[in-house]
Amino acid sequence: MKISILKPAVFVATMASSLSFSVSFTSAESLTVALASEPTSMDPHYQNLTINNSFATQVYNALVLQDVNQNLLPGLAISWKPIDDNTWEFKLRPGVKFHNGSTFSAEDVVATMQRAANVPNSPSSFATFIKGKTFKVIDELTLQVATEKPYPFTPNDMSRISIIDSAFVDATTEDFNTGASSFGTGPFTFAKWLPGDLLEIRRNDDYWGSAVEWDNIIVRPISDGTTRTAALLAGDVDFIERVSPSDLPTLESRAGISVFKSVSNRLLYLTLHMTDTPIKPYVTDSNDEPISSPFQDIRMRKAVSLAINRKAIADRVMDGLSAPAGQFSPVGYIGYSNDLQPDSYDPEQAKELISAAGYADGFKLTMHGPAGRYSNDTRILEAIAQMLSRVGIDTSVETMPASVFFKRFARGGPDKKPEFTAAMSGYANGSGEPSHPLRIFIHTKQKERGYGPGNRNGYSNSKVDKLIEDGRSSMDIAIGENAFIEATNIAMQEYALVPIHHEIATWAAREGIVYKHGALDSTFLHYISAQK
């Protein structure tokens, strides 16, 4: 057995696997889970942040729920339908009690919306989902939501807001952190929170849905991946998320441990600048003179995509934990287009395209990206740089901390315009709304209308814009979805951005525990169950 003691992660797993492994499982009723991060607050309306939102679904319910692939399910509303072009009607679930005993009714929804849009000091509020909507109580269990224009995604927006008891409409964030106001309708009740140390929730015996099997769950934030693995192996915790890639093979091959993997909706992509004025110093000719971005030519964008060996990145950089991507969504996910496949590696065709575009002599390119933000981000960029250099684009890489990267990426250039010519970034659809990536990254930038806030490379196609806008105003979801798929097809064939891969999310648990996993890489505690 060869052990590298200089790589603790590998060493942990190898050493541990060489010994017989047994965990004394104390009680089937209590579960301890180690997560990579913890919520910033117990107030479900404080910050629109993935970990806060996934934790909120444990204690609270929204009107509409999302499953692990973000399909919509009935929540505190049992049904919803548009009654005219500008109004949705929600029928609410009867007989639901909050954890403090009060009964859920339409008034609670109105109070919730009022609070959620206006939490003081919120670093990222939920106003985005509430603004422009008027909430009208028809009777105790009927609610109408009116929008200014036809808006088919009202149910999706409603799936983002945790409903609280109207008694706590004026509660402060601190009241939720201490538990004084933390009464939801969800599968668990809030027990205690010691920031940085542990978070405890208990089963809600009166839950309206299928009851969870654990009496209580203790969540421990352990940010270091190797420590999480060790905690699972030592039996300190029963379940972990985000297994560090180097620990994975040994955990998988080991008796007494189950590993769960699924292709997540987190996409890594390259964005190549298409409107390079003024010319930036990141593309230069053989005399080191800056030239305007070659990627204004679609052939050059295609050449970059064909030059990337996605499979090699998956195998050698990602330890198998990525799936080559050709569009925003993974298979089976909302907005997925069957017409698009990941580009296969074809350096010869890439070279031909580069020659045809008039860059046969090559040029120098500096590619930018964040370091430590996404799994193996720097190594992926370095691999891509080598691949591009092989087809004649002499590429160097510059990475920086995410906090620096995102500012320069968005507005580091002159006139607060995006700075980079070629950059790598990531995206995951947190909203479960199919037009989401198209509105943000693909539509022409129109700040006042909320279109294209993430469109950094100046891609603009009026036909795509129209498809996106039509889809977003069609109250018939099926028609809308077709428009989005068509817009996706055009944008991806024009390389509005170059998809690289979807990350594969991982979880591990001691034997006897199963996790219902999907494309969301965050952990939903009520999906953890004991094997039957």
Partner 1 sequence: MLAFVIKRCIQSVVVLFVMSLIVFSMINLVGDPVDMLVNPESLPEEIDRVRRDFGLDQSVQVQYWKFLTGAVSGDLGNSFIFGRPALALIAERFPATLELATCALILAVSVGLPLGIYAGLNPDGWGARIVMGGSVLGISIPTFWLGLMMIIIFSVLLGWLPVSGRGETENFLGIESSIFTVDGLRHLVLPAINLALFKISMVIRLTRAGVEEVMALDFIKFARARGLSSPRIIRSHLLPNIFIPIVTVLAIEFGTLIAFATVTESVFAWPGVGKLVIDAIVNLDRPIVVAYLLFVVTLFLVLNLIVDIIYAAIDPRVRLQGDR
Binding site for partner 1 (CB under 8 A): 6, 8-9, 11-12, 15-16, 19, 40-41, 46-49, 120-125, 127-128, 131, 173-174, 194-198, 220-224, 226-227, 230-231, 233-236, 401-404, 406-407, 410, 427, 430-431, 436, 440, 447-448, 450, 453-454
Contact 371, 378 (CB under 8 A): yes
Contact 337, 485 (CB under 8 A): yes
- Which CB atom, from 311 or from 408, has the smaller least distance to partner 1? 408
- Which CB atom, from 222 or from 391, has the smaller least distance to partner 1? 222
Q: Please give the Cα distance from 234 to 170 (Å, whole number).
A: 44
- Which CB atom, from 8 or from 347, has the smaller least distance to partner 1? 8
As to burial, measured by CB atoms within 10 angstroms (0-12 exposed, 13-18 middle, 19+ buried), residue 528 is buried
249 contacts: CB under 8 Å, gap ≥ 6: 13, 319
Q: Return the exposure string of 335-358: e unless at least 16 CB atoms fall within 10 Å of the residue's CB, then b.
A: bebeebebbebbbebbbbbbeebe
Point out which residues pair with 267 in neighbouring strands.
427, 502
- Which CB atom, from 259 or from 514, has the smaller least distance to partner 1? 259
Instruction: State which H helix or E strand residue 314 sits in.
Output: none
Residue 406 CB, nearest approach to partner 1 (Å)? 4
Residue 359 CB, nearest approach to partner 1 (Å)? 33
Residue 91 CB, nearest approach to partner 1 (Å)? 28
- Which CB atom, from 225 or from 458, has the smaller least distance to partner 1? 225
Kindly state the tokens that stand for 319: 């330890």
Residue 221 CB, nearest approach to partner 1 (Å)? 7
Q: Please give the Cα distance from 489 to 464 (Å, whole number).
A: 9
135 CA to centre of own chain? 29
Residue 197 CB, nearest approach to partner 1 (Å)? 4
Residue 284 CB, nearest approach to partner 1 (Å)? 26
Tally the residues of the chain: 532
- Which CB atom, from 124 or from 277, has the smaller least distance to partner 1? 124
Kindly state the tokens that stand for 43: 């107030």
- Which CB atom, from 145 or from 222, has the smaller least distance to partner 1? 222
Kindly state the tokens that stand for 259: 């590993």
Residue 437 CB, nearest approach to partner 1 (Å)? 10
